[in-house]
Structure 1
Amino acid sequence: MRLRDELCLIRRDHFHRKFNPNQPRVPSGNAGGGQWTSGTGGGGGSGGGDPISPDGTSLNTDTGWSSLGEGWNEDGSVFEQAVTDGAGTTIQSEYAASRAAGFDERQTVTFPDGEKASFETTDKVQSIYHGGPDGDLVARTIWTPSGPESDATIQPAFARRGLSTIFGGAAALFNWQSPLNGSDGQQAVMGFNARDYRPGDSTSGKLDLSYMGRITQEEAELACRRLPDAQELADRAANAAGSPDLYPSRAVYGTDVHTRFAQYVRDLHDINFQAERSYLKERFEGVNSGEVPYGYPRSTRVDAYEYRQGGTLCVYDLKTGRTDLSDRRAEILANAIRMGFTSIQRIIVIQVRPRG
């Protein structure tokens, strides 16, 4: 606990050096009202600030997210940061200076219709709420060396509409946090815990979203041992493909990188590390839920996966452009690959982008 508090203090000092006490706030009545603002994006801003990363620093690449502002709360115990995608979705992050706040960090995603999802983390435990931090507790999970493990004593209480909000909030966080993967010693991960299939389950009902946040590189590699290989092969594929400017479109370039990446994975001849496998999105009577031919109707392709003894399945989602992972795509990926195996307890989705 002492080491964790020291890390919180270091983070507090980092933010304190960036804080401007004269920084204006977004006027009330606007999206993000009362929050600190850079003053360049107007009330609620739609991209006037610099692209912002999860550690509070500006990014050189276009992440699609812009800063609404940042600053300390009134008693100085929590540093607050707000970003927007310019389309009405905001992420409000709170970073505690010490454990006295009751949490280490908390991200609240607010959608244009006012729906909210909060992801609150303390040490290795994460609690997910529908309706914001004071809303309904949806899940509580501890991150273990094998991945997320759900607290079986928690009985989720939220409507079907809430499930969509939680998935959407997780996808928004994943897309904001993932571009920084590896560069700051952390990885953004989306974790799911599998439940046994029950007749009548919808696609969403077969799997529980259990974790969305950033873990250390060491923790990620302990749970997903092939992560360094997936990153190295993605870099190698991009280098072999050459500049995107050599291709008629970004889509053609992306296809070439994906093809090379898949071949490099196959060249390893590891039955537990596979690439470009297709799986059914949903169960159909008389159809094998395992691998189906590429392009099979109502199937989806997984860029790469790693199966770990003990029931952990790591999904590596290769990205070569700016396209985000939608909440529906994340749900389909996890569910489809889950149905292709019989002994999966948890699924971890990690985004892999070529470096350089």
Structure 2
Amino acid sequence: MQEPASDQSRIKEIQSALASLDVDIKLLRLGMKAGFNPSQPRVPAGDPDGGQWTDTGAGGSDNPRQSTFRTADRARIVTRFGAGHSIADPRSRHTVTLANGKRFVFETEGAVQSVFDGKGRPISKAIWTPAGPESLPIVQQAGLPAREAVDAFEAARHLYNRLTAGNSPEQRACLAFTATEFEPDSTLPTVNFVGMLSRADTAAVCSRLDTVQRLADEASVEARAAGTYPNPAVYGTAVHTRLSHKIRDLGDPSLRPERSLTKKIEEAPFSNAVRVDVLEDHGTGPICVYDLKTGRRGLSKARTLEFGVRLAKYGRPIIVIEIRPFE
């Protein structure tokens, strides 16, 4: 029995609708796989990142999916977080544009971080392990110029300083690099990793983190209890001096306080101030530098180069962790 014309027309309409839905489903699946959302807003034209997709507006004001930050020396940091981002499973993209216009991108997916230059060419790739950052193979441009390497490290330093604002007992910003001598009395730092890690991931490599933080807290409490200070520099000296004594009294062969001339000049010029870093060194693997801060200044270029000059001879990664008293 032949179906009425009206039924045949209805069947064709349904088949057409199903075909259209099938196409839509395939497109949505493809978009989800690629992380593409056609309704997602773009960065406005004229912006250095103009035309790129942005996550602005998602995640709420307490945990924005995108933020822009400008440093005191005119570097610009644009941070975007991917879906499912957390400290335990980071998914972030930091684009750092220096004052000279050079741009570098730091992409982190879980424990793996890739660094690209402004043209999207890979500079480095590393994975954070319980033994510290380990380099992964990449197809890299031949012979990365020394100037490009210095600029990439500057971008990493700016990003590290930005991330330290989020330090807490449960998470830490870490800057890992190696330093090699390329001129007499000079070092060329190479970025290994820069990012925010959970306390557990940080302490797995720098195992004395909790100890140094506890002693820094104690030094701060004792310094404040000792009286008032004429200025922040004198208070900083009191904390640094007490922490130095506490580290020495601990008798841990893997920990030692080292005086920093650069930090003294930067933080307390024209004084007899004591400024120390605490170094954790087990003889193999990374050397952890606990950078005690009591003022507002972040990690300067001169300070990082000082680390390189002091520690390049060991030929091992250097991991810098800022320590500020929480008490």
Same fold, TM-score > 0.5, yes or no: yes
Structure 1 residues 122, 309: closer, same or farther in 2, change over 3 A? same
Say which of 149, 156, 172 aligns to 1:170. Answer: 156
Alignment correspondent of 1:256: 238
**1:128 counterpart = 2:115:** yes
Structure 1 residues 243, 302: closer, same or farther in 2, change over 3 A? closer
Q: Where in structure 2 are the equivalents of 1:77-92 lying within 5 Å?
A: 79-85=65-71, 87-92=73-78
- Counterparts of 2:66 and 2:293, CA distance in 1: 30
Say which of 212, 222, 226 aligns to 2:204. Answer: 222
Deviations 1:243-289 (A, max 9, x none): 79921111111111111111110001122100025699xxxxxxxxx
Alignment correspondent of 2:312: 338
- Counterparts of 1:80 and 1:187, CA distance in 2: 20
Deviations 1:204-228 (A, max 9, x none): 33x4221111111101011011000
Percent identity between the two aligned chains: 36
Structure 1 residues 27, 121: closer, same or farther in 2, change over 3 A? closer
Secondary structure at 1:234 match in 2: helix
Say which of 258, 273, 279 aligns to 1:305. Answer: 279
- Counterparts of 1:91 and 1:243, CA distance in 2: 39
Say which of 155, 158, 179 aligns to 2:165. Answer: 179
Task: Calculate the TM-score normalised by the size of structure 2.
Answer: 0.71
Alignment correspondent of 2:223: 241
- Counterparts of 1:113 and 1:345, CA distance in 2: 30
**Deviation of the 1:142 alpha carbon:** 0.9
Alignment correspondent of 1:159: 145
Alignment correspondent of 1:150: 135
Secondary structure at 2:250 match in 1: coil
Secondary structure at 1:204 match in 2: strand
Structure 1 residues 34, 128: closer, same or farther in 2, change over 3 A? closer
Alignment correspondent of 1:351: 322
**Deviation of the 1:105 alpha carbon:** 1.1
- Counterparts of 1:72 and 1:213, CA distance in 2: 22
- Counterparts of 1:121 and 1:236, CA distance in 2: 35
Task: Calculate the TM-score normalised by the size of structure 1.
Answer: 0.65
- Asked if the contact 2:260–2:277 (Cα under 8 Å) also holds between the matched residues in 1, the reply is no
- Counterparts of 2:300 and 2:216, CA distance in 1: 21
Q: How many residues align?
A: 268
**Deviation of the 1:95 alpha carbon:** 1.1
**Deviation of the 1:309 alpha carbon:** 4.7
Q: Where in structure 2 are the equivalents of 1:251-330 lying within 5 Å?
A: 251-277=233-259, 303-330=277-304
**Deviation of the 1:332 alpha carbon:** 2.3
Deviations 1:192-243 (A, max 9, x none): 2466x67x577333x4221111111101011011000110111111111107
Higher helix share: 2
- Counterparts of 2:184 and 2:191, CA distance in 1: 15
Residue identity opposite 2:253 in structure 1: I
Deviations 1:91-133 (A, max 9, x none): 111111169xxx92110111233211211111111111222xx
**Deviation of the 1:322 alpha carbon:** 0.2
- Asked if the contact 2:149–2:190 (Cα under 8 Å) also holds between the matched residues in 1, the reply is no
Secondary structure at 2:307 match in 1: helix
- Asked if the contact 2:179–2:187 (Cα under 8 Å) also holds between the matched residues in 1, the reply is no
Structure 1 residues 137, 214: closer, same or farther in 2, change over 3 A? same
- Counterparts of 1:33 and 1:154, CA distance in 2: 27
- Counterparts of 2:300 and 2:252, CA distance in 1: 29
RMSD value, Cα:
3.6
Unpaired segments of 5 or more residues in structure 2?
A: 1-39, 263-274
Alignment correspondent of 2:5: none
Alignment correspondent of 1:53: none
Secondary structure at 2:212 match in 1: helix
Secondary structure at 2:284 match in 1: coil
- Asked if the contact 1:107–1:120 (Cα under 8 Å) also holds between the matched residues in 2, the reply is yes
Unpaired segments of 5 or more residues in structure 1?
A: 1-20, 37-68, 281-300
Deviations 1:303-347 (A, max 9, x none): 1100125322110000001011113322321341232xx4x5322
Secondary structure at 2:57 match in 1: strand
Alignment correspondent of 2:19: none
